[in-house]
Amino acid sequence: MDRAQRCAFIIFGITGDLGARKLLPALYALHRNGRLHPETAIIGYARSDHTDGSLRAKLEKSLERFVPDFDRKSWAHLAPRIHYIRGGYADAAGFATLHNHLKGTGLESRILYTATPPEVYESIALGIVGVGLNRSEGFTRLVIEKPFGTDLESARELNRTLLQCFNEEQLYRIDHYLAKETAQNLAVLRFANTLFEPIWSNRSVDNIQITMAEPMGMEGRGEFYEQAGVIRDVFQNHLLQLVALIAMEPPSNYDATSVRNEKVKVFDAMAPLKPDRAVLGQYVASNGMPGYREEKGVAPDSRQATFAAVHFDILNWRWSGVPFFVRSGKRLEGKASQIVLQFKVPPHIPFTLDRDLKPDRLILRLVPNEGITIRFNGKVPGQGIDLDRISLNFSYGSRFNRPIPDAYETLLLDVMLGDATLFMRADEVESQWRVVMPLIDHLDLELEEPHFYSAGSLGPKAAYTMLTEQGRHWYRPWD
């Protein structure tokens, strides 16, 4: 069992939602499980008026709320190691106080975490460098929250600033989706078995479908969503990461350099996206639910996309000719994330059948009921040859009956261990932006209305036509 190295863990913006909901619960869980070094100091930095005592009291309340089995005794050991420094994010005096405080702890290694809105990431990096906080006998690592830029140019600009202040090896760009158990299960499924590799290519696969369906609407985040939309919110990051995990070549080692090299090759092999390979949609009122344009913070004539179905092509020997269909949207019929590999029908069928043969499918369910289903054809008992569909089902929940750590628990431990495999490299983030930029540019032109779909449905008709025109069809995630 790995234990984190001795260090100071500094959280900028400790007063915010991420600190309360994710970071402190994760640090607390690591402490409880014996993964946090007993001399770790947690230092919160923000502008709000707090003392060590009031910050600890605030964090205790949020732990009571967000940690189901919160244990006061174990908290009593962690709480005294939490301190607060008040300062602004462009305030040299605040950074100097932080520096002096760190000297007092005697801890030479440090993690600096930007749990603030993205507007201040750069100024935090510059503030750190301004007082020499990036130089010490131990390690210094900077964790950058998402979103990383709002387009290719801003991501490049942010990378430029960060790389003036730090080495790439010191930078940990978060996409917490990568640390979810499900994403790692995918890597194990592919690279710890020989069963799947021979069929994992254009020789056997007809098409690949990735669906991430979300039943919720804006939940008060309309203003944010007006700027983001579905492409920036989930395609540029989570969905492209899933495509990469499915499409990448087996890495020589499961380490940061090898894994990220293979993922970048996938993004680089993607054919430039053409807007006519995508259907961009927006939900309208239905089933008692408001339409997007009626949501708080949304313009009444907004053309922002709350749904997209995109056809990606990966131009390499393994995947040429296999379309990757990826769709995601808000206010869809239910919650689901799944990946379907639809296989080709056999080149010759020696039986006389009175119906069309259905293709085999490998279904990787991420949410709900994480697991794997294989659907194939079997013979119905009796004389003659009659076929029916058969399912082999595996569910992680029933096979491994143990709690799954939150993604942030995994990520924070990895940062302290110096393992960047689940974090994104500069070129990786930029490649992902490069892939989606044609769609973002197209949306910015506002030339046409989005395809409207009813709240509670599975997206606009045009998304279905996109596949039926090719003689293919989407699979419903819950079937």
Active site residues: 238
Contact flag: residue 18 with ligand NDP (CB under 6 A): yes
CB atoms within 10 A of CB 48: 14
Contact flag: residue 21 with ligand NDP (CB under 6 A): yes
Q: In angstroms, give the least distance from the CB of 87 to ligand NDP.
A: 9
In single-letter form, the type of residue at position 454 comes to S
Q: Kind and range of the H or E element at 371? A: strand 371-379
Nearest CB to ligand NDP, comparing residues 66 and 254 = 66
Stretch in the footprint of ligand NDP (CB under 6 A) among 140-148, 164-172, 296-304, 371-379: 140-148
The Cα 234–Cα 232 span in angstroms is: 6
Contact flag: residue 17 with ligand NDP (CB under 6 A): yes
Contact flag: residue 228 with ligand NDP (CB under 6 A): no
Nearest CB to ligand NDP, comparing residues 406 and 430 = 406
Nearest CB to ligand NDP, comparing residues 175 and 333 = 175
Closest CA relative to residue 327, chosen from 219, 467, 202: 467
Q: CB of 359 within 8 A of CB of 369?
A: no
In single-letter form, the type of residue at position 7 comes to C
Q: What string of DSSP letters covers 88-157?
A: -TT-HHHHHHHHHHHHHHT---EEEEE-S-GGGHHHHHHHHHHTTTT--SS-EEEEEPSP--SSHHHHHH
The Cα 158–Cα 164 span in angstroms is: 10
Stretch in the footprint of ligand NDP (CB under 6 A) among 17-25, 100-108, 347-355, 372-380: 17-25
Contact flag: residue 90 with ligand NDP (CB under 6 A): no
Q: In angstroms, give the least distance from the CB of 164 to ligand NDP.
A: 21
Interface mask toward ligand NDP for 106-135; x: CB under 6 A: ---------xxxxxx---------------
Q: In angstroms, give the least distance from the CB of 74 to ligand NDP.
A: 23
Q: In angstroms, give the least distance from the CB of 1 to ligand NDP.
A: 27
Contact flag: residue 22 with ligand NDP (CB under 6 A): yes
Q: Inter-axis angle of helices 24-32 and 52-66, to 10 degrees?
A: 80
Q: CB of 30 within 8 A of CB of 24?
A: no
The Cα 192–Cα 464 span in angstroms is: 35
Q: CB of 292 within 8 A of CB of 284?
A: yes
**Token pair for 185:** 């299960």
Q: In angstroms, give the least distance from the CB of 11 to ligand NDP.
A: 10
Interface mask toward ligand NDP for 144-163; x: CB under 6 A: -xxx----------------
Contact flag: residue 47 with ligand NDP (CB under 6 A): yes
Binding-site ranges for ligand NDP (CB under 6 A): 13, 15-19, 21-22, 46-48, 89, 115-120, 145-147
